[in-house]
């Protein structure tokens, strides 16, 4: 009410972003208003281009500009190993360990009855399809090590084991209840090394 | 490096914003990528429009979509009283008190030899020009109550008092060393009420 309307609109839009409170929104709005034109253009272009060019790989579900993505398309990756994760941030966390050489499968979430998310809301069917030709020998279930992540891993293990595929889970080197995304590289690498069969 | 390039670019641009670290930038980028098209358009439009439509009032220097701004142009505001502040956020803070009925003058900063900011980098000349016709009877110096704010207030007081204009400073009801912007309304109103002549 004390700001010119377009300024108020900008603050309101920024406040809709996650973790941005009124003070931060105001600070960001002032900063954006004061940016040199070139930098403002770059910010806007980055938003527009990321949305236009980035979509999901039809095989693994990871973020990608190509389809299939560069990970799925890389012949040097171990095609017999698939790591199942909740979302693309977890792929980044796994890649940072430099220990994992297989493929990925991004579920797009975890089973959560509270939020009405069941297997049908996740990319479970797509995962099972990938296992049909017999080339995959092991599935690493790398969902978060909290209740929902464990439920999802257990559900998937029951689905996959009958197909005769080895099903492993990241070791509890990670802090229990922790988010995969926030794990440090060494701990995550250790957890991968100590993975156990379900 | 583990993200598709447009995604990495977006994260990089977001990281350039004040107070946005790598984690937050990543979270925001994912959020922006997942926004419905309509909401993404609104965010981009808000940035572009705020930059296009909001500029500075040529009289008071406050943010405005019109020139002169609605505050300068309001005949019900006390034209004999000018409150000098560092930046537009401080105008908002003053207006929130509902106690101040005069005009404003936004300096655009404070004197800071460390950062090479002297009176010539601020809107000091414009302030003196506004005092020439004799209609202004009092100047409230409402720069922040820290070292630089005090130096700026003292400098302006020395410049203005010889013109025969009453020069006041916000009372130290505000915590010393505090930012005007973060003051609560009651404290700021008290500080205004107890303003003292320099």
**C-alpha distances in Å from residue B73, one per residue of B66, B93, B102, B104, B123:** 10, 20, 12, 11, 19
Same domain flag for A20 and A78: no
> Which two tokens mark A131?
């296992």
- Does residue B138 fall inside a structural domain? yes
Residue B115: inside a domain:
yes
Share of chain A above pLDDT 70, in %: 96
Q: What is the tens place of the pLDDT at every residue in A163-183?
A: 999 999 887 676 667 777 777
Confidence of residue A125 (pLDDT cuts 50, 70, 90): very high
Whether the predicted pLDDT of B191 surpasses 90: no
Q: Is residue A139 part of a domain?
A: yes
CB spacing of B4 vs A63 below 8 angstroms: yes
Q: Do B162 and B115 share a domain, yes or no?
A: yes
What is the rounded distance in angstroms from the CA atom of residue B25 to the CA atom of residue A129? 34
Put simply, whether B54 touches A (Cβ < 8 Å) is: yes
Contact across the interface for A64 and B9, Cβ inside 8 Å? no
Closest Cβ opposite residue B47 in set A27, A44, A96: A44
pTM: 0.75
- Whether chain A has a CB inside 8 Å of the CB on B22: the answer is no
Percent of chain B's residues with pLDDT above 70: 96
The most distant pair of C-alpha atoms in chain A lies apart, rounded to whole Å, by 66
Chain B residues with beta carbon closer than 8 angstroms to that of A47 = 10, 13, 32, 40, 43-44
Query: For B134-175, how does the pLDDT look when each residue is reduced to its tens digit (9 = 90+)?
Result: 999 999 999 987 889 989 999 999 999 999 999 998 876 766
Place of tokens 């025969």: B164
Are residues A78 and A46 both part of a single domain? no
**A62 assigned to some structural domain:** no
For residues B45 and B122, state if they share a domain. Answer: no
Are residue B49 and residue B140 in the same domain, yes or no? no
Q: Are residues A79 and A132 in the same domain?
A: yes
pLDDT digit string (tens) for A42-96? Answer: 999 999 999 999 999 999 999 999 999 999 999 999 999 999 999 998 998 889 8
- A33/B63 touch (CB, cutoff 8 Å), yes or no: yes
| Domain assignment of residue A142, yes or no | yes
- Give the CATH number of the domain where residue A152 resides: 3.40.1360.10
Please list every residue in chain A whose beta carbon sits closer than 8 Å to the beta carbon of residue B43: 13-14, 16, 47
> Which CATH number does the domain housing residue A42 bear?
1.10.8.420
**Residue A15 near chain B (CB below 8 Å):** no
What does pLDDT average to over chain A?
Answer: 90
- Sort out which chain A residues have CB atoms less than 8 A from B18's CB and list them: 27-28, 31
B45 and B13 share a domain?
Answer: yes
Sequence-ordered list of residues with C-beta below 8 angstroms from that of A122, at least 6 positions apart, any chain? A107, A108, A109, A110, A111, A152
DSSP code, position B99 = -
Q: What is the pLDDT of residue A118?
A: 94
Cβ partners under 8 Å of residue B166, min gap 6: B137, B138, B139, B197
- Pair A40, A92 in one domain: no
Same domain, A44 and A86: no
Candidates A51, A100, A184, partner chain B, best to mutate (most B CBs within 10 A): A51
Kindly state whether residue B63 falls inside one of the protein's structural domains. Answer: no
List b or e across A171-195, with b for residues whose CB sees 16 or more CB atoms inside 10 angstroms.
Answer: eebbeeeebbbebeeeebbbbbeeb
Domain extent for A143: 70-169
A42 in the same domain as A89: no
Please give the residue of chain B at the shortest CA–CA distance from A96. Answer: B2
Q: Using one digit for the tens of pLDDT, what is the confidence trace for B90-100?
A: 998 889 888 89
What whole-number distance in Å separates Cα of residue B103 and Cα of residue B68?
12
**Same-domain status, A37 and A82:** no
Best of A4, A70, A95 to mutate (most B CBs within 10 Å, chain B): A4
- Number of separate domains in chain A: 2
Q: What local confidence, expressed as pLDDT, does residue A174 receive? A: 67
For residues B79 and B165, membership in a common domain is answered with yes
Higher-confidence residue of B170 and B13: namely B13
Q: What is the mean pLDDT of residues A134-158?
A: 92
Q: Could you tell me if B21 lies within 8 Å of chain A, comparing CB atoms?
A: no
Residues in chain A closer than 8 A to B5 (CB atoms): 65
Q: Residue B1: is its pLDDT beyond 60?
A: no
Q: Tell me, what's the pLDDT at B97? A: 85
- Is residue A160 situated within a structural domain? yes
Q: Is the pLDDT score of A1 beyond 60?
A: no
Report the residue of chain B nearest A71, measured CA to CA. B2
* Residue A104 near residue A60 (C-beta atoms within 8 A): yes
- Give the per-residue pLDDT at B176: 65
Q: Which residues contact A72 (CB under 8 A, 6 or more apart)?
A: A57, A59, A60, A103
Q: Is residue A197 part of a domain?
A: no
pLDDT at B166: 93
3-state secondary structure of A26: helix
């Amino acid at each position: 009410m004390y700001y010119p309307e377009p300024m108020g609109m900008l603050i309101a839009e920024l406040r809709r972003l996650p973790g941005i409170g009124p003070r931060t929104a105001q600070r960001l709005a002032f900063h954006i208003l004061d940016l040199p034109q070139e930098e403002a253009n770059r910010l806007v272009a980055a938003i527009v281009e990321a949305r236009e060019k980035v979509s999901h790989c039809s095989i693994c579900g990871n973020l990608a500009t190509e389809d299939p993505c560069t990970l799925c398309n890389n012949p040097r990756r171990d095609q017999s190993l698939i790591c199942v994760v909740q979302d693309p941030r977890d792929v980044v966390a796994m890649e940072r360990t430099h220990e994992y050489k297989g493929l990925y499968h991004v579920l797009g979430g975890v089973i959560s009855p509270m939020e009405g998310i069941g297997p049908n809301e996740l990319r479970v069917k797509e995962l099972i399809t990938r296992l049909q030709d017999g080339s995959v020998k092991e599935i690493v279930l790398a969902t978060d090590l909290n209740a929902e992540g464990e439920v999802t891993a257990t559900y998937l293990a029951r689905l996959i084991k009958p197909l005769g595929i080895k099903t492993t889970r990241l070791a509890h080197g990670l802090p229990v209840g922790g988010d995969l995304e926030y794990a440090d590289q060494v701990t995550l690498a250790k957890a991968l090394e100590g993975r156990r069969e379900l």
